[in-house]
Amino acid sequence: MKTEFTRKLLKWNAKANNRSFPWKKEKDPYKIWLSEIILQQTKVEQGLDYYNKYIKAFPTIHHLAKASEQKIFKLWEGLGYYRRCKNLISTAKLISKDFDGNFPDTYENIKSLKGVGPYTASAIASFAYNLPHAVVDGNVLRVLSRYFGISAPIDTTEGKKIYNQLAEALLYIKDPGLYNQAIMDFGAVICKPKAPLCNECVQKTECEAFRNNWVDQLPVKKKAVKQNTRWFNYFIIEYKSKVYIRKRTSKDIWSDLFEFALKETDRPLELDPASLTKYAEELVGTCRLTISDISREYRQKLTHQTILGRFVTFNIHEHSLLLNDYNAVSMKELKKFPFPSLINTFLNEV
């Protein structure tokens, strides 16, 4: 059954797989690594534009290593999961400086890089160096679970062990990179999460899920993602035609991105002028200020939390010493700084 699965998969890949992206059949480990980091927790269609922008701006790992962090983050803007971008910068500098731009060529050394786990290491090792390591991403898990009728949850230690062992057993040793790309493509275009193309599937006669009408029930996840809601109240402080922004430096979301003065609360703020002025004075100190605008409520949904935001614009009529750790920039200059999508959505409407 395992041999038949691999044989049919490779046949489908050779005759019917028309899925095309610039990193497919790529052998440059830098470009493969870049594509894999971008595509972590990102849909391929969205990641494609970012990949092309990064390759154009940083054609080699030396270019990426020498670039300013602000420029790198600005290009990443809107892609989310910004820790990936921080890991990208750290790894580029490491390889450029310590390894003269030569990417590691063994699975273990690749996996030791920041932000590179077993899946990404397997992808780089097999695509760039043709090493026999099976990739196990969401597409692969779905295909294996359905084809073999496996009900073990994909997000448990036991389940991961089962799927990893099975993936390695199915691997086409003569060309692991070809096989890995084929099974990921198969999961993306045929064995899709919703409305899979079972009637067109070359594996359907042996597929346990198809034969037993389990397709909609597999794969199984055990852990429920706990959602949290946070209220971000931004105060745009204007003084002499400039506004104040600062970089987020905590280990919280959006680290290294810029923002306006922020007050986070556990519920929406009261929007009466007296209450808003009181909150603003906590940030800028007691000074003459007037409210010039109160925005609508904005929403950004992240993996484990939802951010609700509102922007209140104040004009202050004297300089505030409490804003010394902020950058005072013109509205035009804001375009140079990387912001979270929530703030960019607001700025695009102003």
Q: Residue 121's closest CA among 94, 43, 112, 162? A: 112
The domain tally of the chain equals: 2
Dihedral, CA of residue 139, residue 141, residue 143 and residue 145, to nearest 10: -150
pLDDT beyond 70 at 243: yes
Quote the mean pLDDT of the chain: 93
Mean pLDDT for 188-199 is 96
pLDDT band with cut points at 50, 70 and 90 for residue 41: confident
Q: What is the pLDDT of residues 264-278, one digit of tens each?
A: 998 888 888 888 888
Both 168 and 286 in one domain: the answer is no
Residue 263 CB partners (closer than 8 Å, separation 6+): 233, 235, 269, 279, 282, 283
More confident residue, 264 or 285: 264
76 and 205 in a single domain? The answer is: yes
**Percent of the chain with pLDDT strictly greater than 70:** 99
Six token digits for residue 302: 């992240």
In terms of domains, do 211 and 277 share one? no
Residue 1 has what pLDDT?
Answer: 66
Q: Are residues 122 and 271 in the same domain?
A: no
Same domain, yes or no: 213 and 232: no
- Judge whether 221 and 152 are in contact, CB under 8 Å: no
316 and 264 both lie in a single domain: yes
Answer whether residue 337 is part of any domain. yes
Decide: 259 and 244 in contact? Cβ < 8 Å: no
**Annotation marks residue 200 as catalytic:** no
Say if 341 falls within a structural domain. Answer: yes
Can you give the pLDDT at residue 43?
A: 87
- 292 within domain boundaries: yes
- Domain-embedded: residue 305: yes
345 belongs to a structural domain: yes
CA nearest to 126, candidates 46, 5, 2, 24: 24
Query: Do 17 and 84 lie in a common domain?
Result: yes
Domain C-terminal end among 217, 238, 270: 217
Specify the pLDDT at position 110. 97
- Is the pLDDT score of 226 beyond 90? no
The answer to whether residues 289 and 280 touch, using CB atoms and an 8 Å cutoff, is yes
Residue 222 covered by a domain: no
Shared domain for 166 and 280, answered yes or no, is no
pLDDT for 159 beyond 90: yes
The answer to whether residue 223 sits within a structural domain is: no
φ, ψ (nearest 5 deg) of residue 338 = -80, 130
What CATH number does residue 200 fall under? 1.10.340.30
Ordered alpha helix ranges (H), the chain: 2-15, 29-39, 44-57, 61-66, 69-76, 83-98, 107-111, 118-129, 138-148, 157-170, 176-189, 208-212, 273-284, 341-349
Per the document, the length of the chain is 350
Q: For the domain that residue 269 is a member of, what is the CATH number? A: 3.90.79.10
Distance CA 227, CA 144 (A): 29
Give the pLDDT of residue 174. 95
Residue finishing a domain among 188, 217, 246: 217
Q: Which of 36, 200, 318, 333 is catalytic?
A: 36
Distance, CA of 340 to CA of 338 (rounded, Å): 7
Residue 15 and residue 126 in one domain: yes
Print the domain residue range for 88.
2-217
**pLDDT above 70 for 85:** yes
**Are 6 and 174 within 8 A, CB to CB?**
no
Q: pLDDT > 90: what percent of the chain?
A: 80
**Average pLDDT, integer, range 217-228:** 86
235 and 210 part of one domain: no
Asked if 28 and 150 sit in the same domain, the reply is yes
Q: Distance between CA atoms of 43 and 290, rounded to whole angstroms?
A: 44
Cβ–Cβ under 8 Å, residues 249 and 256: yes
Mean pLDDT over 144-167 rounds to 95
Q: Is the pLDDT of residue 211 over 80?
A: yes
The residue out of 217, 239, 273 marking a domain boundary is 217
CA 88 from centroid of its chain's CA atoms: 12
> What 3-state class would DSSP assign to 136?
coil
Q: Which residues contact 48 (CB under 8 A, 6 or more apart)?
A: 21, 22
Q: Residues with Cβ < 8 Å from 314, sequence gap 6 or more?
A: 235, 236, 237, 238, 280, 284, 289, 290, 291, 292
CA distance 61 to 33: 10
Cβ within 8 Å of residue 8, ≥6 positions away: 202, 203
164 assigned to some structural domain: yes
Same domain, yes or no: 259 and 209: no
Least confident segment among 1-10, 57-66, 142-151, 336-345: 1-10
Give the model's pLDDT for residue 166: 96
